[in-house]
């Protein structure tokens, strides 16, 4: 992957929700342009002060509702602004040293996309009929189209069609030329890897420094990376193991997941996270809010390219529900600027600053491997090691103070703990529900 990714820490924004856009691009929302994207600029300084080095921007292209039902990949959603607004956002981010990652929805399009409308209006003779997987029930009738996971409004593209590969290549290179630094490929798992293996080399030929990462929820991550040619995929296995282990008092699950994570690092550097626009926020997912620090300590001390979902750094709450509108709670509107955030989230913000800063001072953590030093249900110590560097992380969800082996542990770098007999026989004392990151 591009060399600059070693230092990447992304701040992830879902723009339509963050900026309070209308739920649907209908009526007045479709008739004109509302310039909301410029309202993100004050938040760029917030991201920099947080310690992030990049802005992972959710869907910004013209769509019918939530941004993942695209109707024009070359036009900014008028609920957010226009192309000049996006150009200005690129420039403002880059002026602050922030890279920008765009969200590309290339598995499917909205039913209002001109290519699909042409099929409905013109029938099998439409020039774009081969773009979709269609069944024609009768002459003159509307075709039945394959969809994304049963969502009627999301029409699946036929990735065997060369014109679809040309479209995706053109979209990706167009916005990289305009100033984007890479792409998050939405629902990459639903697209045949051979499609990405056709498209991505063409994109890289024009933009070799672009970072291209795919959304993959489960399955064989390394095989997908090898077969598709993406730089990385989302690490949902580790996401689940972090909150599940903390909630259940079962650090064996986390240790197992870290072992698998090390195996993934032999092939690629995963995109790691505690939250995103599709899942319950970590502060709501954890049954004990004291363990939010533990989760963040893991994220920032293991190999990977970390992502912080906007609001998580202020301990926002929000539960995703499997119903219409069930994403709303995790995709809220934000105030005009960070100064209007509740002070109740300030301690979590400072914790993020501390641990992101620690990570960026130890650049080798990007590809670090971990190994358990001590493992029990409710206490866990592991080392992170790479490129000559070493850290020791100690975690406890016990309601009593704990003392656990931490060979080689030295000075306390973050958290609360006391090292006893620093050196090969070191032990670390943690308070109840304590955590610590120590020099190795």
For 119-177, the pLDDT digits (tens) are 999 999 999 999 999 999 876 678 899 999 999 999 999 999 999 999 999 999 999 99
Strand-pair partners of 115? none
What's the CA gap between 423 and 407, in Å, rounded? 6
Q: Is the pLDDT of residue 100 over 90?
A: yes
Chain centroid, CA 25 distance in Å: 25
Q: Are 368 and 384 in contact (CB under 8 A)?
A: yes
For 378-431, the pLDDT digits (tens) are 999 999 999 999 999 999 999 999 999 999 999 999 999 999 988 899 999 999
Taking the domains of the chain in order of start, what are their residue ranges? 3-367, 370-439
* 74, two tokens: 């070359």
Dihedral, CA atoms, 260, 264, 266, 269, nearest 10 degrees?
-130
Query: DSSP character for 144?
Result: E
* DSSP-derived secondary structure for 241-310: HHHHHHHHT-HHHHHHHHHHHHHHHTT---EEES--TTS--HHHH-SSGGGHHHHHHHHHHSSSEEEEET
Only one residue has tokens 């955030």, namely 341
How high is the pLDDT of residue 32?
87
What is this structure's pTM?
Answer: 0.96
Would you call 159 helix, strand, or coil by DSSP?
Answer: coil
* Mean pLDDT of all residues belonging to the chain: 96
Complete edge-to-edge strand list for the sheet that includes strand 402-405: 402-405, 427-430, 418-420
What would the mean pLDDT of 352-379 be, rounded to a whole number?
Answer: 98
For 289-343, the pLDDT digits (tens) are 999 999 999 999 999 999 999 999 999 999 999 998 899 999 999 999 999 999 9
Q: Among residues 380, 384, 413, which one has the least CA distance to residue 394?
A: 380
- Asked which of 4-8, 30-34, 83-87 is least confident by mean pLDDT, the reply is 30-34
Would you place residue 185 in the very low, low, confident or very high pLDDT band (cuts 50, 70, 90)? very high
- Asked which of 74-78, 135-139, 229-233, 300-304 is least confident by mean pLDDT, the reply is 135-139
Would you place residue 105 in the very low, low, confident or very high pLDDT band (cuts 50, 70, 90)? very high
| CATH architecture observed for domain 370-439 | Sandwich (2.60)
Q: Among residues 235, 192, 242, which one has the least CA distance to residue 213?
A: 235
End-to-end, the C-alpha distance of the chain in Å comes to: 28
Only one residue has tokens 């995703």, namely 320
How high is the pLDDT of residue 140?
67
| CATH architecture observed for domain 3-367 | Alpha-Beta Barrel (3.20)
């Amino acid at each position: 992957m591009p060399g600059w990714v070693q230092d990447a820490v992304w701040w992830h924004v879902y723009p339509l929700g963050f900026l309070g856009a209308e739920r649907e691009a209908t009526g007045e929302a479709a008739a004109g342009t509302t310039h909301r994207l410029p309202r993100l600029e004050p938040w760029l300084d917030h991201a920099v002060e947080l310690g992030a080095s990049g802005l992972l921007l959710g869907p910004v292209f013209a769509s019918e509702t939530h941004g993942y039902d695209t109707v024009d990949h070359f036009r900014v959603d008028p609920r957010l602004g226009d192309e000049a607004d996006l150009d200005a956002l690129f420039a403002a981010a880059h002026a602050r040293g922030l890279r920008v990652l765009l969200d590309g929805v290339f598995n499917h399009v909205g039913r209002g996309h001109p290519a699909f409308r042409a099929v409905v209006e013109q029938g099998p003779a439409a020039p774009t009929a081969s773009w979709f997987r269609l069944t024609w029930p009768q002459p003159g009738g509307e075709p039945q189209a394959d969809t994304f996971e049963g969502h009627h409004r999301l029409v699946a593209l036929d990735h065997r069609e060369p014109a679809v590969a040309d479209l995706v290549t053109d979209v990706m290179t167009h916005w990289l030329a305009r100033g984007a630094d890479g792409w998050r490929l939405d629902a990459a798992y639903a697209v045949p890897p051979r499609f990405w293996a056709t498209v991505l080399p063409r994109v890289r030929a024009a933009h070799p420094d672009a970072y291209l990462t795919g959304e993959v929820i489960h399955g064989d991550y390394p095989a997908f990376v090898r077969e598709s040619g993406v730089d990385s995929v989302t690490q949902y296995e580790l996401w689940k193991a972090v909150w599940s282990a903390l909630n259940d008092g079962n650090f064996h699950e986390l240790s197992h997941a870290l072992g698998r994570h090390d195996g993934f690092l032999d092939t690629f550097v995963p995109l790691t996270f505690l939250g995103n626009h599709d899942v319950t926020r970590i502060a709501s997912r954890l049954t004990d809010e004291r363990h939010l620090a533990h989760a963040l300590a893991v994220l920032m001390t293991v190999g990977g390219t970390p992502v912080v979902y906007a609001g998580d750094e202020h301990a926002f709450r929000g539960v995703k529900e499997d119903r219409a509108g069930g994403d709303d709670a995790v995709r809220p509107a934000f105030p005009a600027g960070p100064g209007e955030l509740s002070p109740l989230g300030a301690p979590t913000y400072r914790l993020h600053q501390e641990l992101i800063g620690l990570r960026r001072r130890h650049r080798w953590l990007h590809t670090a491997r971990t190994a358990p030093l001590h493992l029990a249900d409710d206490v866990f110590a592991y080392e992170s090691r790479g490129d000559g560097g070493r850290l020791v992380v100690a975690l406890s969800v016990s309601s009593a103070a704990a003392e656990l082996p931490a060979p080689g542990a030295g000075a306390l770098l973050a958290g609360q703990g006391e090292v006893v007999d620093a050196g090969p026989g070191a032990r670390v004392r943690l308070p109840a529900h304590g955590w610590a990151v120590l020099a190795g």
